[in-house]
Structures are given as structure tokens and as C-alpha cells.
Amino acid sequence: MDIALVQQFLPDDSLEAFQQGLNAIKDAANAGADLVVFPELSFSPFYPQIPVEERDEDVLDLAEPIPGPTTESVSEMAEEFGVAVVFNMLEREGDQTYDTTPVIDVDGTVLGCTRMMHVPQYEHFYEQDYYTPGNTGAPVYETAVGRVGVATCYDRHFPEYLRALALQDAEVVAVPQAGTAGEWPDGMYESELRVASFQHGFFGAMANRVGREDNLLFEGSSLVTDPFGRVVAQAPSGQAIVLLASIDLEKCEEAPARELFLQHRRPDQYDEGAVRLADSAPVNQGVLAMESSDEAATAEEGEE
């Protein structure tokens, strides 16, 4: 499979930004890509950097239903050029809005939508003002080019979410990302995705926003990692580029996670996504009690 990660500066004009995205699909397909992955809020400004109370418009007016004009246009491009596309948008459903990633197959079919499950709230990332926590779970989509899962931006920080994708045999996990320069320690974007790929046995494909947008400077540095935890390809920071990477999905079956880690799991000992802790206390207390009893008996013998 050949993956294209789209890392572009977004024009201020929304129609121009959207057309730029459609052109990127065409360019990526002509360059040989099978799968095209876009960053978070692929064709629009990063709305959540502004507190919602400071906006003149309602968040609902910024969002769009699915299906709608955006998904229909992207589907047409995917079908015309025979590529699968993963992009991200602000979705409206009734009076709720979601951070949503449609996954579109090479024939233009919208296979489904993954809504971001974990929603952050901190300075310049006022996302709980804009997004309802996702209710789609962590699906994996059987595309014509491979099994693709999605971890939208903040979701990638949660191992239990990534594990759910791995247990469904995801071969590629697309990460639509809006990460800023200096947001985390140097190298953390790479390190986190490398470890996720290594521990779960999939290729990671993180497409990041790039460039200055009001208060934020987005890093770029989009990258692809393999199931052995290696960086396959990485875009520069601060530059517009469509990054292409060739990957061999058969390598997933050879990964340590598939051959070892996932087979040696102990789900009977897990509770709510983590190893149960309650059983360990009585065992340890019992051991300590036995040791204390033995020490007491030895002391009594000494006194006699």
C-alpha cells in the first residue's frame, strides 16, 4: 500500500481551502497513493482554539451533516481517482456536534464515520465547547486497500482505545491530528506513535496540521510508523507537503505484537481496560501477615 499524508497550509477562504483538499486527493492518486489521510478539521480553520463564547456564530452553524456536501464531494473524488480517503470534519447531527472522521473507500462508498471519543479542554483547545464525546466506539473498516482504523487526535493518548483497534486486526491506524509546536516534549509525536505501532502491531499514519493559525503554530512533521516501531517516513515541520510512504501490510503478521503481545494477553485478569488491582491487596497482606507471624514466633522462641 502507498499512503499519502496531506500536510498543507489552509487558505482563509473556505471554498479555496476545500478545493485545495480535493486537488490534494487528485495529486496523491496520480503519485500512486492508495490511501490519502488528512489532518483534523481537514478543510476548515481549527475552530476550538477560540472559546465558544467569543464567537459570533453558533457552533451548529459551523458544522455540516453527514451525508452532506463535503462527504459527497470527497466521495466523488475518491471514486474518480480510485483511492481510499480518511478526512476529518465538524459534524452536525440534530443539536449535537462531533469531531468526526469519515472513511471513504476507493469506489466512493462512505464505509462509516468515527467520532472522537475523548475530548480535551485546555488553553487554545476548548474542544469540549465544540464537540460532544463520540458514541461510535473504535471501528475498523475493511477498505479495498486494507483494514483501516481511526484514532482522532486526542484519542491516540489512550492505550485502551488503540488496543480496541488492534483486537480488530487493524493494519493501518490513521491519526488526523492538530498538534502544535512545543505542545509536548521534543520527539513525543514520533515516540508516541512508534510505541503505539510496536505495542499493537499496526502501521500508524499521523497527518498533522501545519502553519500559523491565530494563537497556534501547528507543527506539521506528519509521519508513518511500522509495526516494529520504526519511522517509515516523516514530513518536515513547518512546510506544506504531501508525504508518500510505501508500506507492506503483510509485515503486520510478523510484528512482535501479533506474534507475542496480543497472544499473551490475560483478559480474564482485566477490568475496565486495565489489570485488576483489587485481588493483589489481600494476597500481599496475607504474605505480610505470615511473615509477621513467623517473626513473632521466632521472637517468642528467643525469649524462652
| Residue 294 covered by a domain | yes
Q: Is the domain of 278 the same as that of 246?
A: no
Q: How many CB atoms lie within 10 A of CB 126?
A: 19
pLDDT score of 250: 97
**Any idea which residue has 466506539 for its cell?**
137
**Three-state SS at 9:** coil
pTM, 2 dp: 0.90
Q: How many CB atoms lie within 10 A of CB 51?
A: 12
* Angular region, 76: left φ>0, alpha ψ -120 to 50, beta rest: alpha
Cell of 89: 470534519
- The 10 Å CB-count burial string (b at 16+, else e) for 194-219 is bebbbbbbbbbbbbbbbbebeebbbb
Q: Is the domain of 183 the same as that of 227?
A: yes
Give the integer Cα–Cα distance in Å for 194 and 107: 31
Q: Is the domain of 229 the same as that of 163?
A: yes
| Residue 256 covered by a domain | no
Q: Is the domain of 204 the same as that of 245?
A: yes
Q: Is the domain of 79 the same as that of 201?
A: yes
Q: Is the domain of 217 the same as that of 287?
A: no
| Residue 115 covered by a domain | yes
Q: How many CB atoms lie within 10 A of CB 94?
A: 7
pLDDT score of 273: 81
| Residue 223 covered by a domain | yes
Residues of the chain with pLDDT under 70: 278-304
Give the integer Cα–Cα distance in Å for 237 and 218: 9
pLDDT score of 275: 86
State how many domains the chain has: 2
- The answer to whether 75 touches 66, Cβ cutoff 8 Å, is no
| Residue 268 covered by a domain | no
**Three-state SS at 253:** helix
**Any idea which residue has 501479533 for its cell?**
258
Q: Is the domain of 229 the same as that of 134?
A: yes
Q: Is the domain of 291 the same as that of 179?
A: no
| Residue 208 covered by a domain | yes
| Residue 263 covered by a domain | no
Cell of 225: 510508523
Burial level of 261, CB count in 10 A (0-12/13-18/19+)? middle
The parent domain of residue 282 ranges over 274-303
Q: Is the domain of 93 the same as that of 143?
A: yes
Residue count (the chain): 304
* Measured CA distances, 131 to 19, 121, 123, 128, 222 (Å): 25, 10, 16, 5, 24
Q: Is the domain of 188 the same as that of 297?
A: no
Residues whose CB falls within 8 Å of the CB of residue 143, separated by 6 or more in sequence, listed in order: 35, 84, 103, 105, 106, 111
- The answer to whether 155 touches 204, Cβ cutoff 8 Å, is no
Cell of 235: 514530513
Give the integer Cα–Cα distance in Å for 198 and 253: 12
Q: Is the domain of 163 the same as that of 97?
A: yes
pLDDT score of 274: 86
**Three-state SS at 143:** strand
| Residue 146 covered by a domain | yes
Burial level of 223, CB count in 10 A (0-12/13-18/19+)? buried
Q: Is the domain of 234 the same as that of 281?
A: no
**Is the bond preceding residue 227 a cis peptide, omega within 30 degrees?**
no
Give the integer Cα–Cα distance in Å for 117 and 150: 11
pLDDT score of 292: 57
CATH code (residue 219): 3.60.110.10
